[in-house]
DNA sequence: CCCTGATTCGC
DNA sequence: GCGAATCAGG
C-alpha cells in the first residue's frame, strides 16, 4: 500500500496525538507494519517521542551526572477506546493495561527492623478509597470501572470506581460512552453493550 | 516473553 | 521513498 495524503494525514494526527507506532499501524489498516509507521514518521520529520532506547551516550569515564529531569512524563492522553473515529470526549484515559498503569516501585512503608512483624489485624491496609472516597490508581482492578474523572496530574484526579461491566474496563454507564459505533444518530442504539457482548478487536 | 522507538540498508 | 531487519531499553 502506498502513502496517500489521506493516510499520511492520519499518521500525523495519530502520532501527534500520542498513539504508539503499533497502534497507529493497525489503525491504518492491514498491510501497515509498525516499522512502516515509524519509518514514515521519521521521514516526515515528525517529532520523535521518548524511546526506550536512547543510547548514543559516550561518557568516557567519570560520568555520574544527573540525568535530565523528565519534565513531562511520556504519557499523553490517548482517547478512550472508541470503536471508530476519535471524538473529543473525555480525552483522558489510562490506556495501556498493566504496563502503563503500573504504579511503580512501592515507595511505601519501609520495613525497618529485625523482629518479624506480629500479625496485625484491625487495620486492613486499604486506605485510599475508603478514606479518600475516591478511586485511585491503586484501587483499580478488572472489577472496577477505570473511567477517568478529571485529568491526570490534577490533584483530585480519580476513577469512576463503579463495578465494571464484566469483560469491560468500564461500568455499564461508561461503556455506553466509550463504545459507540459511528452510526447515524437516528438509529444509534441507546442501550450500552450488554453482558457478554462481543468484544471488538 | 511482551512492549517501545531508532537506525540501517537493500530494494 | 520504503519498510523488514535489527538494535536496544523498559
Q: Number of structural domains, chain A? A: 2
The two beta strands, A158-159 and A148-149, are antiparallel
3-state SS, residue A143: coil
A10: exposed, middle or buried (Cβ count in 10 Å: 0-12, 13-18, 19+)? middle
Q: Within a domain: residue A58?
A: no
* Residues A176, A171: Cα–Cα separation, whole Å: 9
Per-residue model confidence (pLDDT) at position A54: 61
- Read off the pTM: 0.37
Q: Within a domain: residue A23?
A: yes
Q: Is the CB of A4 under 7 A from strand B?
A: no
**Positions of chain C reached by protein Cβ under 7 A:** 1-10
pLDDT in tens, A86-142: 434 444 443 333 333 333 334 334 344 334 444 444 444 454 555 567 877 777 778
Q: Which three cell numbers stand for residue A135?
A: 478511586
Nearest nucleotide by C1' position to the A38 CA atom? B5
Range of the domain at A168: 144-184
Q: Separation of CA A68 and C1' B10 in angstroms?
A: 37
Amino acid at each position: 500500500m502506498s502513502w496517500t495524503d489521506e493516510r499520511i494525514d492520519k499518521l500525523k494526527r495519530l502520532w501527534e496525538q500520542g498513539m504508539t507506532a503499533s497502534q497507529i499501524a493497525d489503525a491504518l489498516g492491514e498491510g501497515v507494519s509498525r516499522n512502516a509507521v515509524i519509518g514514515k514518521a521519521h521521514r516526515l520529520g515528525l517529532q520523535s517521542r521518548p524511546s526506550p532506547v536512547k543510547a548514543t551516550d559516550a561518557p568516557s569515564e567519570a560520568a555520574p551526572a544527573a540525568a535530565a529531569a523528565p519534565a513531562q512524563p511520556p504519557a499523553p492522553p490517548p482517547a478512550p477506546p472508541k470503536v471508530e473515529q476519535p471524538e473529543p470526549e473525555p480525552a483522558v484515559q489510562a490506556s495501556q493495561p498493566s504496563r502503563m498503569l503500573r504504579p511503580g516501585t512501592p515507595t511505601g512503608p519501609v520495613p525497618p527492623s529485625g523482629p518479624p512483624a506480629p500479625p496485625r489485624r484491625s487495620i486492613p491496609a486499604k486506605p485510599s478509597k475508603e478514606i479518600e472516597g475516591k478511586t485511585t490508581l491503586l484501587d483499580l482492578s478488572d472489577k472496577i470501572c477505570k473511567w477517568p474523572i478529571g485529568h491526570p496530574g490534577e490533584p483530585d484526579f480519580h476513577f469512576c470506581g463503579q463495578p465494571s461491566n464484566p469483560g469491560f474496563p468500564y461500568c455499564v454507564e461508561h461503556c455506553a460512552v466509550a463504545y459507540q459505533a459511528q452510526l447515524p444518530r437516528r438509529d444509534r442504539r441507546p442501550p450500552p453493550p450488554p453482558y457478554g457482548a462481543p468484544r471488538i478487536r
